[in-house]
Amino acid sequence: MLTILGFVMIATFLVLIMMKKMSPMGALVLIPALFCVLVGKGAHLGDYVLKGVGDLAPTAAMLMFAIIYFGVMIDVGLFDPIVRIILRFCKADPMRVVVGTAVLAAIVSLDGDGSTTFMITVSAMVPLYRRLKMSLVVMTGVAAMANGVMNTLPWGGPTARAAAALKVDASDIFVPMIPALAAGLLFVIALSYGLGLRERKRLGVLTLDEVTAGDPEQVLVGAGSGGKGAKGGKGGRAALTGTDAKAPSPSGSGSSGASGADDDEFKGLDPNRATLRPKLYWFNAALTIALLALMVTETMPIPVLFLLAAAIALTVNFPHMNDQKARVAAHAENVVNVSGMVFAAAVFTGVLTGTGMVEHMARWLVDGVPEAMGPQMGIVTGVLSIPLTYFMSNDGFYFGIVPILAEAGAAHGVSTLEIARASLVGQALHMSSPLVPAVYVLVGMAKVEFGDHTRFTVKWAVLTSLVVLAAGVLFGII
């Protein structure tokens, strides 16, 4: 019964948010509360929720101060050179913009933290997507898939969890998987190319006056800045040419909401904006590099690192208290939205775990594997990792399910390392799971409906995971 109710609860949640019948926050809270009562454990709802909140509180704190930190770094101009490089590469070509999104997300993912990756990628790319009236759902989908593949780095989380759960060395898991993961990343870039061509066909040939004819120092950055965006004047609008330039955005594309809001949401920030701190550029760059290095080496808990970094960044760049308050207020909307979604997700995970539904669902799937498939437990693990890492947290999957799969594989001569490697296959889809806090950073900052992101991304993410699995089998890794 718990197995059936668990699957029904998840299906109900996904259907309601994809059909936009409920907001993600409302669905994350009310649906699990209802199903908790249905399974006869309503009296324990408070305990489940508090347990879930306790588990996710450090993540919420990390996201809160990470948003403030990177928001300040965007305001002071740390990422302006990156945006210039992106603009030069993209040349306002939708195909190049989408491919650039995948490459940027993959490069930034080297820090091993999904939230950081999404904040930097969205901040750099959203203004260009909005200016060209491109689909923001394409951006969020491509960024999530690129980050999902790169999330398998030894310091990214899944590999470390698999190593700890099965008591093997992380490098023995990751290094042999590099060819398969590279194939997955190449597929994401190829997919980005195809999606970009589709956007180019929909929009026609586009040029940005700011890039081709305007001030070469003009920088396009999305930020919660209190500074005024550049309005009017030369290069104040994108020039659209081609027969399809005025084609409407398809329903659910998440391109930027109502077309009339495009210019209001777009912020063109020139080098003279009040929040820039050019004299502190190298200090801010050094602070960011040090922060990322400490995150990778796990010198301190990540929430503590972001808390300290945000305090230092605010104090050094904006020594006056009123300016500090203004910077925090400028990014307060993102902080509240993302933190609220994390705590709402805590209700979902708390009920799913506390009632035992997730354990019953996982065991039902594992027990359903035919005995004849025993010698192929590596492939079985790879296939199962796709839905299980979407419906479960990484901790639950790697510490609760993977050891069971490894034990079943060992009985048929399948090595523990093979199971560990196969367990990484589903990460491309995992990063779009409603149980992953970082995805709310992605859709929140991009102002994309989570249901739209899910409906667009899931099919491509599953295909990416299958490409990784196929490459692993082809290269004899799995």
Q: Which two tokens stand for residue 17?
A: 């948010």
Distance between first and last Cα of the chain: 34
Low-confidence ranges of the chain (pLDDT < 50): 210-269
DSSP assignment of 421-458, as one string? HHTTTTHHHHTT-TT-HHHHHHHHHHT--HHHHHHHHH
Q: Which two tokens stand for residue 6?
A: 């668990």
> What pLDDT is attached to residue 207?
58
Rounded to an integer, what distance in angstroms lies between the CA atom of residue 121 and that of residue 304?
Answer: 23
Is residue 74 within 8 Å of residue 219, measured between CB atoms?
no
Rounded to an integer, what distance in angstroms lies between the CA atom of residue 363 and that of residue 366?
Answer: 5
Angstrom CA distances, 360 to 239, 356, 390, stand at 56, 6, 16
Angstrom CA distances, 348 to 31, 104, 472, stand at 8, 32, 33
Give the helix, strand, coil percentages of the chain, each rounded to 5: 70, 0, 25
pTM of the model: 0.74
Q: What phi-psi label fits residue 267: left (phi over 0), alpha (psi between -120 and 50 degrees) or beta?
A: beta
Is residue 101 within 8 Å of residue 128, measured between CB atoms?
no
Is residue 131 within 8 Å of residue 173, measured between CB atoms?
no
> What pLDDT digit, counting tens, does each position of 66-102 carry?
888 988 988 888 878 877 777 777 777 899 999 999 9
> What pLDDT is attached to residue 148?
93
- 257 C-beta neighbours (distance < 10 Å), count: 16
> What pLDDT is attached to residue 271?
60
- Give bridge partners of residue 240 from the DSSP assignment: 206
> What pLDDT is attached to residue 255?
41
Angstrom CA distances, 309 to 16, 140, 306, 409, stand at 39, 27, 5, 45
Rounded to an integer, what distance in angstroms lies between the CA atom of residue 315 and that of residue 15?
Answer: 45
Is residue 402 within 8 Å of residue 312, measured between CB atoms?
no
DSSP assignment of 131-179, as one string? HTT--HHHHHHHHHHHHHHHTTSTTTSHHHHHHHHHT--HHHHHHHHHH
Collapsing DSSP to helix, strand or coil, 112 comes out as coil
Rounded to an integer, what distance in angstroms lies between the CA atom of residue 65 and that of residue 439?
Answer: 16
> What pLDDT is attached to residue 30?
93
> What pLDDT digit, counting tens, does each position of 426-443 carry?
999 999 988 888 898 899
Is residue 302 within 8 Å of residue 295, measured between CB atoms?
yes
